[in-house]
Amino acid sequence: MFTPRAAWVFYAISFLQTLSVPLLGQQPSSVSGCVQDSTRASIPGAAVILTGSNGSGRFQTQTDDKGCFNVTGLRSGKYRLQILAEAFSAYEKDIVVEDAARLDDVVLEIHPIQAEVVVTATRNPTPADTLGSSVDVIDRSQIEASHIQTASDVLRNIGGVAVVRTGNTGGITTLFSRGGNSDYTKVLVDGIPVNQPGGAYDFAHLPTDNVSTIEVVRGPQSALFGSDALTGVVQIFTTRGTASPEAEYAVEGGNYGTLKEAAALRGAWKRLDWSNTFSRLDTDNITPNNDYRNASYFGNFGFTPDSRQTFRGTLFHVSSRIGTPGVDAPGFTSFGPNDHAENLERAAGVTYTGLISSRLTQHLAYRYYDHDYNYFGAFGVSNIQHKRHRAEYHGDVALALRRTFAYGIDFDREEANVAGMPHLRNNTGYYVQQQVRAWDRLDLIGGIRIEDNTTFGVSANPRFGASLRVRPDLRLRFSAGTGIKEPSFIQNFSTNRFFLGNPNLIPERSRSWEAGVEQSFWKNRMTADLAWFDNRFRNRIELDQSDVFQNIGRSLARGVELRTRARVRQVLVQANYTYLDGRIQESTQRSYPFRAGDPLLRRPRHSGDVAITWISRKWNARWSTEAVGRRADSDFFAYQVPLTSNPGYSVSDGALTYEFTRFGSAYIRVENIFDRDYQEVLGYLALRRSFVAGTRIRLGRSK
């Protein structure tokens, strides 16, 4: 599936990197050990890196299916040991190697206040406190404590991110990051891109049942991920099977006719691991013809032939149906009280990771995503259908002096059906990235990606990031880069005379930077992070006066994010505040809110949230409050005197869990505790107070 040009680049880079690997097999010394989590369960696939104290050598391997590693070919001397695993804190230690050194078991801790190890920001495991970009990680313990049903609601407690839903459960749910449009954030599930090509992703139907962690990286990321990553990347990782096999069943019910069931089978045996989750949600919501049904399956499978190779596969299937009565707020007119929509998402992915030598790691992957959306209205059926086939090659080279060089090629074959006509386009992305650590204080990242698209041609996008540890408790960071978003298939090929496509469109572009300072207090029990960001968007695709899509818009979004985290024993406190100054700078539109000078639609100037999570051996509790300020919105001429803004609101949710045996727990979740009357989108009423009570049974769970 690679183009001839991509194939030549692939072979040339692989050959050069292979030549650069020295023959180290004659060296007699070695280091071995095992890596575990706080429950003493093994951690397979953790990256293990050894760097010579004089900078002369750097070696890497990964833990096997039992969480153990063995690095051979070392000269005797002093080394810096670094162990990195997703969702865990980085482990670093100075060691002395003489002959065959056997280390004590290494225990990795999950510390939300410390720097987690993330993958999304660099496409390889990297401590978050070495990055110039703003990063947030949501782990499984927070999801289980909150009992939140959808991934979109989990993301409401992330600074700089605005989640907007049209009405009730199952309503169209979009995400705005740092003032960008809803189609400016790349969304991945285990590396599988799920955005519409050049478009947004509807978060309404993605459940949390099999979600392990969520990583959110803000700022332009097109230098690594290409199109759609203008203001950030959200990557959702599904749960992997570990330790002894276990079965799980959960059922919950509540008001609004809500009933949900979920079942899971997870485990590991020898070199295999697996995790399967099935769930079904039914709810009636609050108005006629607004019922919602969702059935989903997620699977994650791994095979580790030896300590140098790993195969991992992902499957998911999400099917949903929702009644769409249209707007339901007083004073608005609904044009579809008997309509409904059906949504189907299917995806598969397989990744091979191999340690070619002590310095070179290579990744090969294939991803597939198929989205089929049908809206059944008074004027017939409207269909949106697209498919994406993606092939990836990625290499990481461990160099001397704590440097890592990464390179890769992504090939996308995008297919869509517009007005009954099939359309196809290909995109090939070539990228390189260099990571450097100097003096144990300064971390630098630089990279560039070149897109070769059959629709708009060639585009180059660089980025740069720096993180300086001034003191152990004080860090400064900076990042800058550019981003692009390819036109959607509708924008290119629509035949509707009210929004006519234009095959000559070029990508929308961004030029952004951010600067931040992070301060820790009370021996790292609390951190505060203050960031200033500035985004400039140009070539925005809009309709001109002839109702034809053109690159004619410009906008600005800048502001401040304040994030604080505090952890005292079993209590985790998280708080965010975001100030956003966003407006349209150029536009040919003549109606609010799309004119030049108008504020950005549905993106509040002030927003914030606070969440308190308490996790103990028997009890878990969580309280969260989200406050959203007044924001630009429109009734789109439903009123004689037009509405131009949506009032602010605050809403609180809570959950309580009790583990009554080692195999079972009971919980209750209450949303909109104070029964607030508000609309996230003008014309669509949000749910009033709702509650569910449920129980979860686990069999075979290891302790």
Please report, for the chain, the start and end positions of each structural domain, with discontinuous segments joined by +: 4-107, 237-608+673-699
Element (H, E) at 71: strand 68-74
* CATH 2.40.160.150 for domain 4-107: no
Q: Please state which of the ranges 293-302, 333-342, 566-575, 605-614 shows the lowest mean pLDDT.
A: 333-342
pLDDT confidence of 3, banded at 50, 70, 90? low
490-501 pLDDT per residue, tens: 999 999 888 899
pLDDT confidence of 259, banded at 50, 70, 90? very high
pLDDT confidence of 504, banded at 50, 70, 90? very high
Global pTM? Answer: 0.90
Q: What is the pLDDT of residue 95?
A: 87
CB-count exposure of residue 226 (10 Å: 0-12, 13-18, 19+)? buried
pLDDT confidence of 239, banded at 50, 70, 90? very high
**CB crowding 88-102: b at 16 or more within 10 Å, else e:** bbbbeeeeebeeebe
* Amino acid present at 51: T
Contact indicator for 202, 166 with CB cutoff of 8 Å: no
Separation CA 553–CA 84 (nearest Å): 43
664-702 pLDDT per residue, tens: 999 999 999 999 999 999 999 999 999 999 999 998 864
Q: What is the pLDDT of residue 207?
A: 94
Separation CA 662–CA 676 (nearest Å): 37
579-621 pLDDT per residue, tens: 999 999 999 888 888 899 999 999 999 999 999 999 888 999 9
Separation CA 106–CA 104 (nearest Å): 6
pLDDT confidence of 111, banded at 50, 70, 90? low
Task: Report the largest interatomic distance among the alpha carbons of the chain, rounded to a whole angstrom.
Answer: 84
Residue bearing the bigger pLDDT, 87 or 236: 236
Residue 251 pLDDT greater than 70, yes or no: yes
Contact indicator for 696, 671 with CB cutoff of 8 Å: no
**What Å distances lie between residue 610 and 97, 428, 597, CA to CA?**
47, 42, 32
Pairing of strands 185-189, 232-238: parallel
Contacts of residue 696, defined as CB under 8 A and 6 or more positions apart, other chains included, come to 248, 249, 250, 664, 665, 666, 667
443-486 pLDDT per residue, tens: 999 999 999 999 889 999 999 999 999 998 899 999 999 999 99
Residue 79 pLDDT greater than 80, yes or no: yes
508-529 pLDDT per residue, tens: 999 999 999 999 988 778 999 9
Residue 8 pLDDT greater than 50, yes or no: no
Torsion of Cα atoms, 190 then 282 then 651 then 324, to 10°: 90
Separation CA 433–CA 419 (nearest Å): 41
Kindly calculate the radius of gyration of the chain based on its CA atoms and give it in whole angstroms.
Answer: 25
What is the DSSP secondary structure assignment for residue 116, as one 8-state letter? B
Q: Please state which of the ranges 87-101, 297-311, 507-521 shows the lowest mean pLDDT.
A: 87-101
Residue 388 pLDDT greater than 90, yes or no: yes
Q: Compute the average pLDDT of residues 437-442.
A: 88
Contact indicator for 203, 138 with CB cutoff of 8 Å: no
- Which CATH number describes the domain made up of 237-608+673-699? 2.40.170.20
263-289 pLDDT per residue, tens: 999 998 888 999 999 999 999 998 889
**DSSP three-state, residue 590:** coil
Residue 115 pLDDT greater than 90, yes or no: no
Residue bearing the bigger pLDDT, 445 or 73: 445
First to last CA, the chain: 46
DSSP calls for 354-371: EE-SSSEEEEEEEEEEEE
